[in-house]
Amino acid sequence: MLVFFKERLAFLSVPKTGTTAYESALAARADMVISDPPMLKHAPVYRYNRFIRPMFERVCGVELEVMAVMREPVSWLGSWYRYRQRPFMEGKPNATHGISFDDFVLAYMKGNKPGFADVGSQAQFMKSQPNGTGVTHFFRYEDQPRLKAFLEARLEVTLSLARENVSPAMALRLSPEVEERFRRKCAEEFALYQSIP
Q: What is the CATH number of the domain that holds 177?
A: 3.40.50.300
Q: CA-CA distance, 116 to 96, in Å (whole number)? A: 6
Burial class (CB in 10 A: 0-12, 13-18, 19+), 69: buried
- Confidence at residue 106, expressed as pLDDT on a 0 to 100 scale: 98
Closest by CA position to 122, among listed 164, 72, 85: 72
Contact at 8 Å (CB) between 81 and 42?
no
Quote the Cα angle for 59-60-61, to 5°: 100
Q: Which helix (H) or strand (E) holds 138?
A: strand 137-140
DSSP type of residue 28? T
Q: Which domain holds residue 159?
A: 2-195
Q: Which helix (H) or strand (E) holds 69?
A: strand 65-70
- Confidence at residue 166, expressed as pLDDT on a 0 to 100 scale: 72
pLDDT values of the chain reduced to their tens digit, one per residue, 197 residues: 999 999 999 999 999 999 999 999 999 999 999 999 999 999 999 999 999 999 999 999 999 999 999 999 999 999 999 999 999 999 999 999 999 999 999 999 999 999 999 999 999 999 999 999 999 999 999 999 999 999 999 999 999 888 777 777 888 999 999 999 999 999 999 999 999 99
Q: Which helix (H) or strand (E) holds 3?
A: strand 2-4
Count of domains observed in the chain = 1
Q: CA-CA distance, 111 to 63, in Å (whole number)? A: 36
- Confidence at residue 161, expressed as pLDDT on a 0 to 100 scale: 87
- Confidence at residue 170, expressed as pLDDT on a 0 to 100 scale: 86
